[in-house]
Amino acid sequence: MSSLENLRKQAKRILRWHRSGHVPVAAALRAGLPKLRALDDRAILAYPLRLADAQELVARDNGFSSWRALVEGCPAMNPGSKPLSDRPTLIGAEPQLLVQDVTAACTYYVERLGFSVAFTWGDPPFYAQVVRDAARLNLRGAAPLPGEAERRAAEQLLSAVVTLASADDLKRLFLEFQASDVAFALTLTTQPWGARNFIVRDPDGNLVLFASSGAGT
């Protein structure tokens, strides 16, 4: 388990992400806080989250029932005691997008979205990875189910979420994609809960949401 000071910083970071409308934090809050389990992402981001709530989430993630219990059991506060939680650290995620033609999909992501090809596998390729900065998307060749693309569009079923450092970066990327004649399922928008994002629809119907991690104009 991290030191108590690091855990305090984690709680403050969660609160900051929530206040800036960072969509991925909603899933963590829903999974970790019983009182938010029945709420969707929009309702969670609109919820008046307090620092105590973020601290409770950190405590539960580390195997404690409350922040007070964590403080009392934290090795940093009680030298010589053993950590009650030794959690593995996740350092990344690579969503897998289903495409009909891997080569054509790679061309789209490189020429339209500014990615580069990290690798392809197979002859002809049936699997590939494209990267741009720290964002990595895996492309898997697979025939779509009947009506799958239409359902994705109607229900805005996202295939991946890519986060940018700031709202200014997000706006610049949107303008870059706009100049590349990219198809948007949602243009650059400020959501009712304060988040700014846009959604790209690739030729296979995959919806990729781009969002900023902080508040801004």
Asked whether residue 80 is assigned to any structural domain, the reply reads no
Q: Which of 36, 58, 73 is the last residue of a domain?
A: 73
Beta strands in the chain (DSSP E): 96-99, 116-122, 125-132, 135-141, 158-164, 184-190, 196-201, 207-212
Query: Does residue 65 lie in a domain region?
Result: yes
User: Which of residues 58, 73, 88 is at a domain's end?
Assistant: 73
Q: Is the pLDDT of residue 76 over 70?
A: no
Residues 101, 205 share a domain: yes
The number of folded domains in the chain is: 2
Q: Which domain holds residue 66?
A: 4-73
Residue type, 47: Y
For the stretch 33-57, pLDDT in tens is 989 988 888 889 899 999 999 999 8
| 36 belongs to a structural domain | yes
Are 154 and 195 in a shared domain?
A: yes
> Do the domain assignments include residue 13?
yes
Q: Give the DSSP letter of residue 167.
A: H
For the entire predicted model, the pTM comes to: 0.61
At 152, which amino acid appears? Answer: R
199 domain residue, yes or no: yes
- Give residue 69's identity as a one-letter amino acid code: A
Judgement on whether residues 116 and 44 belong to the same structural domain of the protein: no
Residue 87, domain member (yes or no): no
Sign of torsion, CA 15 18 24 30?
positive
192 shares a domain with 120: yes
- Is residue 86, in this structure, part of any structural domain at all? no
Last residue of a domain, one of 39, 58, 73: 73
* Domain harbouring 167, CATH code: 3.10.180.10
Q: What is the CA radius of gyration of the chain?
A: 20
Per-residue pLDDT tens over the stretch 98-134: 999 999 999 999 999 999 999 999 999 999 999 998 8
Q: Are 44 and 135 members of one domain?
A: no
Tens digits of residue pLDDT in 162-185: 998 888 999 999 999 999 999 999
For residues 108 and 139, state if they share a domain: yes
CB-neighbour burial class of residue 76 (10 A; exposed 0-12, middle 13-18, buried 19+): middle
**Residue 23 counted as domain residue:** yes
- Higher-pLDDT residue of 114 and 30 is 114
Q: Domain check: are 197 and 105 in the same one?
A: yes
